[in-house]
Structure 1
C-alpha cells in the first residue's frame, strides 16, 4: 500500500526513538464541531507538543539516526518556524550543531524560539522554498546534513507516530483531517493509521493561497505553484515532496482548500470554544470542517498541527475572524449635517446593543451635498443575526446605510 522506502514498521521504530522526547498529545472533544458534523469530533492537540508543533517528531528521528560522522558535520534546515524549532531542539538533544535558514519576515517569536533552542538562524529569500534552496546550497558547500522538512523517510516516519496515537486514543475513528504543506504530516499519518485501520478516510487541507496538492494530484506528479501571501505560513509550500506526494496520492482520500476567512474563523473557534491557542496553519483542519461539516464521516479527528503564533499576527487574525464570524460590522451612514445628528446615531446604536469600536466623521467629499455628512462606523455585535437587526433598525429609522 505504501512506497517501499518508508513502512509501518519504520513508524513503529520511530515511536521507540521518540519515547521521552515527544509528548503523547491529548485528544480533546469539541462539542461545537460535533454538533455541526452530527457526530463526535475530537482535536488532536499537536499545538501542545514540545516546541509547539508536531515537527519535533520527524526532526528528532532524522537527527537521531545520523551517524557520528554526520553529527560531527552539523545539520542544516529551512523553515518558516515550526520545523526550525523542531530541528533546533532535536539537534540540541542529540548533541550536534544546527543552522536554520528562514525566510525574511518569518514570525519573530519563531525566530527567537529557534535561537533559544540552540540553532543559528540565517535569513534567505521571502518564501520557504527560497530558504530551502539556500539550505541545500549550504549543505553541498559545507557537508552539513540537510534535515528536510518533509521529504525524507525518517521525517515521514516520525510524523506518522501521530497516526498511531490517534487510532489508539480513538479506535473507532472514521475520518482524520490534517493540514497539508509539503505533505510529510499527512503522508505519515495516512501510512500509520491505514495500516491499522484500512477503512479510515484521510482528508488533507491546504490554504487556498498556497495549494500545490490539488493541481499535483490532478496530473499525478508534484507541480510547483507560487504561494500567495497567506496567514497559514506553516503550510505555505510551493512544491510537494516526492516521497510525501507518493504516499498522499495512494493513501489520502482527498485534499481540500480553505480560505483566509475560514482559517481565521477556525482559529477563533479553537481559542474561544476549546481554549486552545492554534496558529492559522494548525487550524486548517478545523476550517475545513466548519466549511463543509457534513462532508466528514464521524467520529472525526482534526489534527491541530501547531500553536506557534506571533502575538501581533494573533491580534490581526482575531479581528479578521471576528469579522468573518459576523461579530464585527463595518458600514457607512449618511446623516443631515446638523447639531446632534451624530450623537443621536451613536445613542441609537447603543440602544440596539451594539458596541461602537471606531468612528470616522466625513463632512467634506465629492459625493456629499452641502447639508450632508458621512459617518463610517465599526461596531461589535453578538453575531450575524444581531448585525441584521442593527441594520434593519437603522433603516426603519430612516437612515441611509451604505457599505462602500
Structure 2
C-alpha cells in the first residue's frame, strides 16, 4: 500500500478538479518580460470558472467531507468575495444546499455573481457590517448541525486544494525550470500550499517570494516577530488579501521564510500595476490579483535573465472602483495633489493663484470650504500634472508669493474627510 503524502493528496484533488475545469493556463508575457529583462510567465488563476483560485480549496474541502460521509447534506461559509463564489459553484456541482453569510455592505455585483454561480443550490444571508459579524453568524449556524462550515484558508483540505496550482505548474513547465515563483498572500492558503508542494518536490525548487499589501502585512509582521500576530489595523483596499491575521496552519508552513522575502506592495503602486495590465495587456485584475506582478518592481534587480512565474490570483473587479484606482495611482506617482489654500477675499485673488501653475498643470477639483470669512477664505483644490517635479516649482512659487497652503494628499484624516 502506497504512503499517503501531501503530494498524493494534492494529486487526488487535482484529478477531481478536472471534472470542474481544465488546468488554468501558464502564459509567457511579452510585455513584462521585455520590461524586466527576464522570462516572465503568468499562472492565470483569474481564468477559473469563478475568476479566482478559491474554487480549488472550497471544492476539495467539500469533496473530502462528502467522500468520508461527514456531510449533513449542506454547507455554509462566510465571505464577501472570491471564497463565496467558489463555494457557490461547488455547491451547485455537488447538488447540495449551501448558505453564504455576507456583510450587509457587500456590493450588489458580488452578491449577484455568487447567486449566479450557485443557482438554486445556495441562499445568501446578509448580516452585520463587517466580515467578523457574518463569520460569527456562519459559525453559529454550523454549530446547530444544519451545515458544515467551509473555512476560507485555515484548514488542511483547503490548503491541499490550493496546492493544485503547484502541481499544474510542474506539469506545465515540463523541462523548463523556474528560477523564481512569486505568490500573493492573504490568509495563506494558496501561499502555504504551493510552498509546501515545492519544498517536498523531488525535482526543481524555485526560489519563492511572497507579495502582501503594505496595509495588511500580516505574514511579514508575524515573521518579523517570530509568532502569529493579529494586526490592529488593516487597509481594506486590497479586499482579496486584506487579512488581519494569517491562518495558523499556513503560518506553520511559512514561519521559516525570511521577512525580507515578503514584498510589501503599497496600495497606490498596486493601482498603477492594475491600470498598466488593463491598458497594455487587456487583463482585468482585482487588487489582490495584481500583487505578484507589482512585486516585480522590488524584485527587478535580482530577476534579470531569469525565468519567473507569477501567480495571478483573481479578476473579480467591480469597474465602479476604477475611478478610485486611477486616483490612488496618480497620488502614489506624485502626479496629483490636494491642497487647502487660504486666499484673500478680494477680486483677482484666484487669478493670482492660477498664475503659479505651469502649462502642464491642471485643476481637477475646486471647492470653497468656508465662504463666510470677511478677509480670507479656505479652498480645497486638486491639481494634476504630467511630471511630479512640477509640484516643486508650484510650491516654490506659492512660498515666494506668500500664499498660505497645506498639502493634505498624504494626510489620512484630512484626505478621508475632504477627498
| TM score, norm. by length of structure 2 | 0.80
- Let me know the Cα RMSD of the aligned residues: 3.5
Distance 1:394 1:28 in 2: 50
- Match of 1:151? 154
For 1:208-227, what aligned pairs fall within 5 Å after superposition?
208-218=214-224, 220-227=226-233
Deviates more, 1:292-301 or 1:7-16: 292-301
> Is 1:140 aligned with 2:143?
yes
> Is 1:285 aligned with 2:289?
no
- TM-aligned CA distance change 1:164 to 1:230, over 3 Å: same
For the Cα contact (< 8 Å) 1:202–1:252, is it kept in 2? no
- Select the residue among 190, 193, 216 that pairs with 1:185: 190
| SS of the residue 1:52 aligns to | coil
Distance 1:270 1:77 in 2: 32
- Select the residue among 236, 242, 245 that pairs with 1:239: 245
- Match of 1:248? 254
- TM-aligned CA distance change 1:102 to 1:361, over 3 Å: closer
- TM-aligned CA distance change 1:230 to 1:294, over 3 Å: farther
| SS of the residue 1:282 aligns to | helix
Distance 1:343 1:167 in 2: 64
For the Cα contact (< 8 Å) 1:190–1:252, is it kept in 2? no
| TM score, norm. by length of structure 1 | 0.82
> Is 1:166 aligned with 2:169?
yes
Distance 1:30 1:311 in 2: 24
- Match of 2:415? none
Distance 2:177 2:241 in 1: 28
- Aligned length, in residue pairs: 396
- TM-aligned CA distance change 1:353 to 1:129, over 3 Å: same
Distance 2:285 2:231 in 1: 26
Q: How much has 1:92 moved relative to structure 2?
A: 0.4
Q: How much has 1:87 moved relative to structure 2?
A: 0.3
For the Cα contact (< 8 Å) 1:155–1:184, is it kept in 2? yes
What runs of 5+ residues in structure 1 fail to find an aligned partner? none
| SS of the residue 1:22 aligns to | coil
| SS of the residue 2:255 aligns to | helix
- Select the residue among 373, 382, 395 that pairs with 1:378: 382
- Match of 1:73? 73
Q: How much has 1:96 moved relative to structure 2?
A: 0.6
For the Cα contact (< 8 Å) 1:328–1:381, is it kept in 2? yes
- Match of 1:21? 20
- TM-aligned CA distance change 1:85 to 1:363, over 3 Å: closer
Deviates more, 1:145-154 or 1:289-298: 289-298
- Match of 1:116? 116
What runs of 5+ residues in structure 2 fail to find an aligned partner? 408-419
- Match of 2:89? 89
Q: How much has 1:21 moved relative to structure 2?
A: 1.5
| SS of the residue 2:240 aligns to | helix
For the Cα contact (< 8 Å) 2:356–2:398, is it kept in 1? no
- TM-aligned CA distance change 1:293 to 1:36, over 3 Å: farther
Deviations 1:217-249 (A, max 9, x none): 345553333442420121222333233222223
Q: How much has 1:196 moved relative to structure 2?
A: 5.5
Q: How much has 1:189 moved relative to structure 2?
A: 1.6
Deviates more, 1:248-257 or 1:187-196: 248-257
- TM-aligned CA distance change 1:48 to 1:373, over 3 Å: same
For the Cα contact (< 8 Å) 1:191–1:251, is it kept in 2? no
| SS of the residue 2:65 aligns to | coil
- TM-aligned CA distance change 1:156 to 1:112, over 3 Å: same
| SS of the residue 1:206 aligns to | strand
Q: How much has 1:338 moved relative to structure 2?
A: 6.7
For the Cα contact (< 8 Å) 2:234–2:244, is it kept in 1? no
- Select the residue among 275, 278, 284 that pairs with 1:271: 278
Distance 1:129 1:8 in 2: 33
- Match of 1:391? 394
